[in-house]
Amino acid sequence: MKNWLTLEPDRVKLMNKHYTPGRAGNKIECVVVHHNAGVLTIDQIWDVWQTRQASAHYQVQSDGVIGQLVWDADTAWHAANQYTNQRSIGIEVSNSAGASQDWPITDTAICEAGRLIAAVCLHYNLGRPVSGDNVRYHREFYGTSCPYHLAPGGKYNAALMAEAQRFYDELKAKKNGTPAPQPKEEITVSEADRIIRHITDYISGFVGPIGSDTKDVRQQLTGGRDAGDYRGWPQLGKDSQGRNLTVVDAIAALRVELAEFRAEFDKHVEEN
Ligand SMILES: [Zn+2]
């Protein structure tokens, strides 16, 4: 698109038949998504619709170029349902190969189609694109599989809608002159499992043994196991209150005795 905010397409190649001028007074309420079931450029689909009683407002080529074939203000014949045609914008997306390859669509075309949905929703005040609400699908109105992989449950629908919603937020922010909201970081279930496993492994493999070692050291120093339950060591002797000495108490007592012995020794050397 040349301009998403004003809905100016890359190319305009208007149908001269197989559409209805105006919308009989109806407002645009939704977009209807189609796939070509064909590999077609703007010129080629124009040829097809000139010979068949059908049309849509926009054609998205495989290279992402978007063409306008019916003005938004007019009624295109795309949903095989006059009520819906008068109240919707028809968006056609080209396939990049045929039935033998199960009608693939390029990433570029899916992306541009998503952005076009967003731009139409914003331009006509239809709100943020929501599948089944302001974003509808051909098969809802007619006995067809169209838009096939682009429809809910199809392999391209999630990518189409994700880009439509992301781009809607970006375009709306641009229109309002506010910064675009940043996508939230999300933790997937498998990531959460991995983090929980990492923490569990860390505790059982590293923190647990350190805690156990610390308790061993305390037990060897004090003879006690839990805080306030320091039994000390009977083989180190007892303090003045009759309690067993701890290793630290015993070493302190030993230092006092050693100092006394040394003083005694020095005095003896001096005297002799
Ligand atoms: Zn269709």
The pLDDT mean for the chain works out to 92
171: CA distance to ligand 1 center in Å?
Answer: 27
Quote the ligand 1 centre to 144 CA distance (angstroms): 7
Q: What is the pLDDT of residue 226?
A: 63
Q: Considering the domain boundaries, does residue 106 fall inside one?
A: yes
Domain match, 117 and 237 both: no
Ligand 1: centre distance to CA 157 (Å): 15
Which residues neighbour 85 within 8 Å (Cβ) at sequence distance 6 or greater?
Answer: 20, 75, 76, 77, 78, 79
User: What is the Cβ-side half-sphere exposure of residue 145, based on CA atoms within 13 angstroms?
Assistant: 8
The larger pLDDT score, comparing residue 87 to residue 242, is at 87
Give the count of domains, the chain. 2
Given 176, 197, 213, the domain boundary residue is: 176
Residues 111 and 246 in one domain: no
pTM value is: 0.68
Mean pLDDT across 142-161: 96
Distance 6 CA to ligand 1 centre (A): 25
**Of residues 244 and 37, which shows the higher confidence score?**
37
Are 51 and 143 in the same domain? yes
The protein residues having their C-beta less than 5 angstroms from ligand 1 (an ion) are 34, 138, 146
* Residue 198 counted as domain residue: no
Domain housing 114: 11-176
Cα 56 to middle of ligand 1, angstroms: 9
**Is the pLDDT confidence value at 185 over 80?**
no
> From the CA of 33, how far away is ligand 1's center (Å)?
7
Round to whole Å and give the CA distance between 205 and 261. Answer: 49
Ligand 1 center to 37 CA (angstroms): 8
pLDDT value at 35 more than 60: yes
Measured in angstroms, how far is the CA atom of residue 143 from the centroid of ligand 1?
A: 10
pLDDT one-digit tens code per residue, 212-242: 888 878 877 776 666 556 778 888 888 888 8
Amino acid 159: pLDDT: 97
CA distances from 126 to 136, 214, 270 (A): 12, 65, 107
